[in-house]
Amino acid sequence: MIGPFTYAPPTAPLDVIHADGALLLVNKPAGLLSVPGKAVEHADCLESRVREVYPQALLVHRLDMDTSGIMVFAMNRKAQRHLGLQFERRHVAKTYVADVWGQVGPDKGEVDLPLITDWPNRPLQMVCHERGRPALTRWRVVARQEGWTRLHLFPHTGRSHQLRVHMREIGHPILGDRFYATGDALNVRDRLALHAEMLEMYHPDDGRRMRFVCPQPW
């Protein structure tokens, strides 16, 4: 059961990583919605903050509210279509950094488990081999510490809560995950230890392969 939630987004100024005539990349802080929620009190979001500075910016993808890191916006409709197709066709390379509970034994591996919305408990997601959509996450150990492990996560698909559920399913929930971690794994951090660290894509104007990095903040 998910406990009561009060939306209190951080108030730090917009952190722009890159801006040109087609692309805008910003660092979304943890605790800020990517897009407005249904409730009036959930109107503050990265999309609205971006448009205060760049009125022409258009949404391309989203990050979970609890996740920090790189988000890309398009600066015109042509770029939005181009970027949307790159995400759809999996031409965008994404790397996340996550601190997970426990000692992960192997140095690398993958999780191939189909996911579906857990409707009675939404927005939670769950594994469902009968009706779930394919979901694949590859991972690699970055460092091992006492009680936890730092991983690089490479999602091949982009399902909702994919990284969070996949890590929980292999017995290593992400630290501070209020949805899928319990006990010490939940309480050891004051935020979800998941950060979108790297995004690589083709520039919509000239096709150059571009790589953007935003170091994890903890």
b/e string for 56-83 if b means 16 or more Cβ within 10 A? ebbbbbbbbbbbbbbbbbbbeeebbebb
Q: Whose CA is closest to 68, among 31, 13, 108, 19? A: 31
Q: How far apart are CA 58 and CA 123, in angstroms?
A: 25
Q: Up-side HSE of residue 94: CA atoms within 13 Å toward CB?
A: 26
Q: What 3-state class would DSSP assign to 148?
A: strand
Question: Hey, what are 212's tokens?
Answer: 């953007």
User: Which segments within 120-173 are labelled E, that is strand?
Assistant: 125-127, 136-145, 148-155
Query: What are the residue numbers of the active site?
Result: 64
Q: Is 74 left (phi over 0), alpha (psi -120 to 50) or beta?
A: beta
